[in-house]
């Protein structure tokens, strides 16, 4: 079933257009990575989905209008909007009691079991915890909620690599199953590539690329071309070319792998490479148009 | 319990009971009020401190105040015995007002300042419930708390007075005659209710300011009324605005009570109450209507608000 359905979603702050009429459809059981440069409109899109901001256009999340029914929607939707939003005065025990008090789908025993695996003590206040521990606490609260959609907006910003890895590992191992849906935005693209089922690039308020990870792996090929083959490879119309250690690396969309095999070392590109190719091309085109 | 992936979809018995019982609509409100008490400890600490100060002062002043109380005429006797109770009541009410005002100015501002509004909004609690829980602190929780603390201090003060009187060879009967306890408590409850209703638009306005102001909510609360009052004085040589502000702060006294007799003769405290006059005062209802309007605006603002 469809978890999120958006049509012509638009949002402007004064003359700045944050969302320029995007269409979006997210099915149940997907883990969608929303990736884009700063100011691309990712957070605005998530805020609209979470009912935190009004918008123009059509938007349904789990069949509800998020702006009109935020409190109802939050029974089925969880979000971690950036790291430091847990109030500093809150005690861990109070956080558990409060969420248990207001959330019908919160399993307190599960949250306590998750916290027992960390160094967080129930009597601690949030201000006494390290940044990584605050994220662990927030994640334990969220994972104990039987929600259908989880939205993560830069959930691991400012954390060291151990916490970041642990964050996604517990999310995948202890939380995700195919009746849940996750949307995540991050700048650490390479770290979540293996986690995602779908990926979407945003730039200047528009969705500029949308693909499942299966399609991504079959569609895109990167070739580190032998120097003598560069001209032949360029003739096959790569979508992007970059130089690494004096070697040309060409990125192809829908290319014939057998044809490319003779030209150099063939491999699947990373999401980061594709991102640079797609967004970089756009930035170049825009600069060219402006000049 | 196991938290393996296969068990992830099976909620614990506690969670099943909670979702099966279909959460009562008042539950989020109840927990939101508790949340406010966790965050703003001055709500409970300040009245407790007042109770401590009142009791300490009472104990220290006890022996000299009751010295020769039996020699006084009834009016003086009444004053000697009642004054500490009146002072205590004043102290409680003034503290409660100050704590409420400061609380309201921070209530919808602090959550935006520390970005925690994003956490609160990630839970299924409506903006209406949140604003109502915050409004209930000055309008319900603090008056009730102050009332209970007043009862508690009375229950400490009375036996102490009796003991001292007895030690001085005076029968405490005079004391008990001067202090009709239950009638006093009833009058206090009336007084606190009247004040809460009368001040409702003030606190609702402060809540609205705290939802609206990007910074310095306190200055927005204090300077504009002061400025208008001064302007009124300079431009029109009148005190109308100042009188209006004063009326909204202390006007409850003239509207809800009959003036006490000048000769100081003790009367039944219930005789001083005038609930019919109070309920018939248009200004009470105008104030409540304004309070509802301000709270509705605060709900609307909070819905649109992002962290600052």
Write out the DSSP string of A27-50.
Answer: ETT-EEEEE--TTSSHHHHHHHHT
Closest alpha carbon within chain A to B18 = A104
Taking contacts as CB-CB distances below 8 angstroms, the residues of chain A near B14 are 107-109
pLDDT confidence tier of residue B99, bands split at 50, 70 and 90:
very high
Among B183, B187, B176, B204, which Cα is nearest to B81's?
Answer: B176
DSSP A47-108: HHHTTSS--EEEEEETTB-TTT-HHHHTTTEEEEESSTTS-TT-BHHHHHHHHHHH-TTB-H
Higher pLDDT, B184 or B205: B205
State the pLDDT at residue B61. Answer: 79
Higher pLDDT, A156 or B171: A156
Task: Number of A to B CB contacts under 8 A, please give it.
Answer: 122
Residue B164 CB neighbour total at 10 angstroms: 19
The reply to whether B64 touches chain A by the CB within 8 Å rule is no
The reply to whether B285 touches chain A by the CB within 8 Å rule is no
To 10 degrees, what angle do helices B282-304 and B240-256 make?
A: 110
Integer CA distances (angstroms), A91 to A88, A125, A127, B4, in order: 8, 4, 9, 27
Q: How far apart are CA A156 and CA A162, in angstroms?
A: 11
Report CB contact under 8 Å: A108, B14.
yes
**Contact by Cβ (8 Å): B80, B265:** no
State the number of CA atoms in the 13 A half-sphere of B114 facing the CB.
17
Closest alpha carbon within chain B to A54 = B304
**Contact by Cβ (8 Å): A181, A49:** no
Report the DSSP beta bridge partners of residue A220. A253
User: Distance between alpha carbon B297 and the CA centroid of its chain, in Å?
Assistant: 22
Q: Helix, strand, coil shares of chain A as percentages rounded to 5?
A: 35, 30, 30
Higher pLDDT, B263 or A272: A272
Nearest to A78 among B27, B35, B122 (CB): B122
Among B284, B296, B302, which Cα is nearest to B211's?
Answer: B302
Q: How far apart are CA A101 and CA A75, in angstroms?
A: 13
* C-alpha distance from B30 to closest chain A C-alpha (Å): 8
- Chain segment A44-98, per-residue pLDDT in tens: 999 999 999 999 999 999 999 999 999 999 999 999 877 668 999 999 999 999 9
Helix (H, G, I), strand (E, B) or coil at A8: strand
pLDDT confidence tier of residue B184, bands split at 50, 70 and 90:
confident
pLDDT confidence tier of residue B246, bands split at 50, 70 and 90:
very high
Residue A251 CB neighbour total at 10 angstroms: 20
**Contact by Cβ (8 Å): A109, B1:** yes
**Contact by Cβ (8 Å): B201, B290:** yes
Burial class (CB in 10 A: 0-12, 13-18, 19+), A5: middle
Closest alpha carbon within chain A to B303 = A52
State the pLDDT at residue A83. Answer: 61
**Contact by Cβ (8 Å): B211, B108:** yes
Taking contacts as CB-CB distances below 8 angstroms, the residues of chain B near A88 are 114
Among B94, B18, B111, which Cα is nearest to B50's?
Answer: B94
The reply to whether B140 touches chain A by the CB within 8 Å rule is no
Report CB contact under 8 Å: A102, B124.
yes
Question: Any idea what the Cα angle at residue A197 is, between residues A192 and A199, rounded to 5°?
Answer: 70
Closest alpha carbon within chain B to A151 = B122
Report CB contact under 8 Å: A53, B119.
no
Nearest to B123 among A84, A103, A108 (CB): A103
State the pLDDT at residue A33. Answer: 94
Report CB contact under 8 Å: A72, B114.
no
Residue A227 CB neighbour total at 10 angstroms: 9
Nearest to A89 among B9, B39, B121 (CB): B39
Report CB contact under 8 Å: A81, B122.
yes
State the pLDDT at residue A95. Answer: 96
State the number of CA atoms in the 13 A half-sphere of B98 facing the CB.
9
Among A170, A97, A164, which Cα is nearest to A140's?
Answer: A170
- Chain segment B5-16, per-residue pLDDT in tens: 444 444 444 444
The two tokens of residue B303 are 């819905």
DSSP assignment, residue B214? S
- pLDDT score of B18 more than 50: no
Residue A55 CB neighbour total at 10 angstroms: 22
Q: How far apart are CA A46 and CA A139, in angstroms?
A: 18
State the pLDDT at residue B13. Answer: 46
Report CB contact under 8 Å: B116, A70.
no
Question: Any idea what the Cα angle at residue A202 is, between residues A200 and A205, rounded to 5°?
Answer: 140
**Contact by Cβ (8 Å): B175, B184:** no
First-to-last C-alpha distance (Å) of chain A: 46
Helix (H, G, I), strand (E, B) or coil at B51: helix
Taking contacts as CB-CB distances below 8 angstroms, the residues of chain A near B30 are 101
Burial class (CB in 10 A: 0-12, 13-18, 19+), B71: exposed
State the pLDDT at residue B279. Answer: 92
Closest alpha carbon within chain B to A82 = B118
Spell A132-163 as b/e; 16+ CB within 10 A means b.
Answer: bbbbbbbbbbbbbbbbbbbbbbbbbeebeeeb
Report CB contact under 8 Å: B123, A108.
no
Element (H, E) at B269: none
| Percentage of chain B exceeding pLDDT 70 | 84
The two tokens of residue A113 are 């079991």
User: Distance between alpha carbon B75 and the CA centroid of its chain, in Å?
Assistant: 31
Taking contacts as CB-CB distances below 8 angstroms, the residues of chain A near B127 are 70-71
Report CB contact under 8 Å: A101, B31.
yes
Q: What are phi and psi of A147, to 5 degrees?
A: -100, 165
* C-alpha distance from A189 to closest chain B C-alpha (Å): 24
Closest alpha carbon within chain A to B5 = A174
Helix (H, G, I), strand (E, B) or coil at A16: strand
State the pLDDT at residue A289. Answer: 53
Q: How far apart are CA A273 and CA A271, in angstroms?
A: 5
Nearest to B114 among A70, A87, A113 (CB): A87
For chain B, the average pLDDT equals: 85
State the pLDDT at residue B274. Answer: 87
Report the DSSP beta bridge partners of residue A264. A225
User: Distance between alpha carbon A82 and the CA centroid of its chain, in Å?
Assistant: 12
Taking contacts as CB-CB distances below 8 angstroms, the residues of chain A near B9 are 146, 177, 179
The two tokens of residue B62 are 């006890």
**N residues, chain B:** 308
* C-alpha distance from A26 to closest chain B C-alpha (Å): 20
The two tokens of residue B28 are 């989020």
Cβ within 8 Å of A, B 8-47: 8-9, 11-12, 14-15, 18-19, 22-23, 27-28, 30-32, 34-35, 38-39
Nearest to B119 among A85, A108, A173 (CB): A85
- pLDDT score of B3 more than 70: no
Nearest to A85 among B14, B38, B116 (CB): B116
Report CB contact under 8 Å: A70, B126.
yes
Report CB contact under 8 Å: A85, B115.
yes
Dihedral sign of CA atoms B121, B125, B129, B135 in order: negative
Report CB contact under 8 Å: A107, B116.
no
Report the DSSP beta bridge partners of residue A78. A150
Q: How far apart are CA B288 and CA B292, in angstroms?
A: 6
Residue B180 CB neighbour total at 10 angstroms: 15
Taking contacts as CB-CB distances below 8 angstroms, the residues of chain B near A146 are 9, 11, 15
Question: Any idea what the Cα angle at residue A164 is, between residues A160 and A167, rounded to 5°?
Answer: 140
Q: Which residues of chain A have pLDDT under 70?
A: 83-84, 282-291
The two tokens of residue B51 are 């109770």
Taking contacts as CB-CB distances below 8 angstroms, the residues of chain A near B108 are none
């Amino acid at each position: 079933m469809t978890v999120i359905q958006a049509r012509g979603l638009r949002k402007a702050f004064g003359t700045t257009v944050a969302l320029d009429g995007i269409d979006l459809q997210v099915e149940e059981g997907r883990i969608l990575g929303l990736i884009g440069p700063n100011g691309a409109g990712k957070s605005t899109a998530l805020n609209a989905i979470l009912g935190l901001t009004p918008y123009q256009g059509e938007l349904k999340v789990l069949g509800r209008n998020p702006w009109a029914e935020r409190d109802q929607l939050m029974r089925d939707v969880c979000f971690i909007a950036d790291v430091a939003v847990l109030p500093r005065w809150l005690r861990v025990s109070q956080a558990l009691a409060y969420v248990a008090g207001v959330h019908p789908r919160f399993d307190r025993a599960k949250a306590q079991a998750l916290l027992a695996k960390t160094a967080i003590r129930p009597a601690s206040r949030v201000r006494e915890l390290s940044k990584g521990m605050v994220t662990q606490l927030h994640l334990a609260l969220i994972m104990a909620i039987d929600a259908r959609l989880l939205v993560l907006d830069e959930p691991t910003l400012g954390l060291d690599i151990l916490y970041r890895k642990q964050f996604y590992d517990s999310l995948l191992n202890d939380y995700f199953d195919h009746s849940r849906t996750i949307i995540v935005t991050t700048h650490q693209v390479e770290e979540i590539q293996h986690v995602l089922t779908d990926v979407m690039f945003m730039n200047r308020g528009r969705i500029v690329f949308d693909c499942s990870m299966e399609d991504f792996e079959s569609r895109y090929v990167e070739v580190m071309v032998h120097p003598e083959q560069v001209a032949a490879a360029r003739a096959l119309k790569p979508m992007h070319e970059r130089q690494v250690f004096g070697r040309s690396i060409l990125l192809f969309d829908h290319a014939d792998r057998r044809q490319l095999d003779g030209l150099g070392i063939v491999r699947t590109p990373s999401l980061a490479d594709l991102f640079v190719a797609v967004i970089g091309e756009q930035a170049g085109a825009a600069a060219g148009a402006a000049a | 319990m196991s938290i393996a992936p296969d068990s992830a979809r099976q909620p614990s018995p506690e969670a099943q009971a909670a979702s099966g019982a279909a959460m009562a609509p008042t539950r989020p409100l109840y927990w939101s009020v508790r949340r406010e008490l966790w965050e703003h400890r001055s709500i409970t600490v300040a009245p407790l401190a007042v109770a401590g100060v009142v009791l300490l002062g009472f104990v220290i002043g006890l022996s000299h105040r009751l010295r020769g109380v039996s020699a006084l005429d009834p009016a003086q006797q009444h004053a000697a015995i009642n004054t500490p109770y009146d002072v205590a009541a004043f102290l409680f009410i003034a503290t409660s007002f100050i704590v409420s005002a400061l609380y309201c100015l921070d209530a919808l501002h602090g959550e935006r300042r520390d970005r925690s509004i994003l956490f609160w909004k990630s839970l299924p609690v409506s903006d209406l419930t949140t604003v109502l829980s915050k409004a209930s602190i000055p309008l319900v929780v603090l008056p009730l708390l102050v009332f209970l603390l007043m009862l508690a201090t009375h229950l400490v003060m009375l036996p102490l007075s009796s003991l001292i009187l007895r030690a001085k060879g005076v029968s405490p009967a005079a004391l008990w005659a001067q202090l009709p306890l239950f009638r006093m408590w009833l009058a206090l409850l009336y007084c606190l209710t009247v004040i809460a209703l009368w001040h409702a638009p003030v606190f609702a306005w402060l809540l609205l300011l705290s939802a609206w102001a990007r910074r310095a909510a306190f200055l927005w609360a204090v300077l504009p009324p002061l400025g208008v009052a001064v302007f009124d004085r300079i431009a029109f040589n009148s005190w109308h605005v100042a009188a209006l502000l004063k009326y909204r702060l202390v006007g409850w006294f003239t509207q809800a009570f009959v003036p006490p007799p000048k000769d100081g003769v003790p009367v039944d405290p219930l005789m001083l109450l005038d609930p019919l006059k109070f309920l018939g005062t248009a200004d009470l209802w105008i104030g409540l209507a304004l309070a509802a309007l301000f709270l509705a605006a605060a709900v609307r603002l909070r819905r649109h608000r992002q962290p600052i």
